[in-house]
Amino acid sequence: MIIQGILVALIAAVVYMESRIGGQHMLDRPIIIGPLVGLVMGDFQTGLIIGGELELVWMGLVGIGTSTPPDVVVGSALATALAIQTGADYQTTLALAIPIALLAQFVAIGVAILNTTFAHYADNQIAKGNWKGIAIGNWSGSLIYFLSKFLMVFIGFMVGGDVIKGIVNHIPQVIQAGLAQSGNLLPALGIAMLMQLSLDKKYAAFLFLGFALVAFFNISTIGAAIFGAICAYLYYQFKPREGELF
């Protein structure tokens, strides 16, 4: 159990560190963390499915610029692990993941404040002629990031199981069914958050094109992406440059 806890915490922390010292290829997401946690918990398939479901709900939660969103990494790692451990279903997992991510968000904000110290440390050391100051500063910041995720997931895993079982057994049937329904509704919020990032009125027609393709013809997302790529190509080819007229 302790070993499992350490492994789950390592997965969360290592995948997260890809976004700090690995170049940030958007890999610290439920769709990647879910299956990996499933693997250590001995149920790859469930981890894979929960990862996909959580990704849909949380796809709009991204830390663009300086904002710190609810902690998707800690939320998905812990919820997936605890769901597999206690045999809870996806709805319950979701009900777990949301408060965990909200709590962990505060820690994440704290770390980004704390790391200001190391930026100042690097500045001061260089001013004093200690050239190693930059490396020490940058890696100390990384270490704090690593430890914060590792400890949150490890502690959460060690104390979480029994608490979760207790709560799950007391959730009334109706509420559980309602949670299942909200699992179907919540992707709407994820999508709306994406729309906030990229929708402006000028391009709204393209959003409706994608919607209509699926709603009326029931094509797959890959199919829609291909139509989208064709639209993007046509747009690039035929939109006149600034000052050019048809």
Partner 1 sequence: MEENAKKLTKKDLMSVYLRHYQLLGCFNYERQMSTGYGWAMTPVIKKLYGDDDEQLKEGYQRHLEFFNCATSTSPFILGISCAMEEQYANAEEEEFEVSSINSVKAALMGPLAGIGDSFFWGTFRVIGVGIGAPLAIKGSILGPLLYFLMNVIPSELVRWFGFKIGYKGGSEFLAKISANGTLQKLTEAAKVLGLVVIGALIASMVVIKLPTAITINHAKINVQDTLDSIMPKLLPLLVTFGCYSLLQKRVSGTWIMFGLIILGIIGVVLGILK
Identify the residue among 1, 3, 127, 245 touching partner 1 (CB under 8 A): 127
Residue given tokens 């179907």 in the structure block? 184
Q: Which is nearer to partner 1, 166 or 172 (CB)?
A: 172
Kindly state the smallest distance separating residue 237's Cβ from partner 1, in Å.
Answer: 9
CB of 25 closer than 8 Å to CB of 18: yes
Q: What are the C-alpha distances in Å from 29 to residues 50, 115, 220, 235? A: 12, 23, 22, 31
Rounded CA-CA distance 38/42 in Å is 6
Residues 199-218 within binding reach of partner 1 (CB under 8 A):
199, 203-204, 206-216
Residues 20-59 within binding reach of partner 1 (CB under 8 A):
20-27, 29, 31-32, 34-35, 45, 48-49, 51-53, 55-56, 59
Kindly state the smallest distance separating residue 219's Cβ from partner 1, in Å.
Answer: 8
Q: Which is nearer to partner 1, 9 or 54 (CB)?
A: 54
Contact call for residue 66 and partner 1 (CB under 8 A): yes
Stretch that binds partner 1, among 14-22, 74-82, 149-157, 158-166 (CB under 8 A): 14-22
90-114 and 44-58 helices, crossing angle to 10°: 70
Check residue 203 and report its DSSP letter. Answer: G
Check residue 22 and report its DSSP letter. Answer: S
Kindly state the smallest distance separating residue 29's Cβ from partner 1, in Å.
Answer: 8
Contact call for residue 5 and partner 1 (CB under 8 A): no
What would the two tokens of residue 102 be? 């909200």
Identify the residue among 14, 103, 107, 231 touching partner 1 (CB under 8 A): 231
Residues 140-159 within binding reach of partner 1 (CB under 8 A):
140-142, 145
Kindly state the smallest distance separating residue 83's Cβ from partner 1, in Å.
Answer: 15
Q: What is the Rg, in whole angstroms, of the alpha carbon atoms belonging to the chain?
A: 22
Contact call for residue 126 and partner 1 (CB under 8 A): yes
Helices (H), the chain: 2-21, 30-41, 44-58, 72-86, 90-114, 116-127, 133-170, 173-185, 187-198, 204-217, 221-238
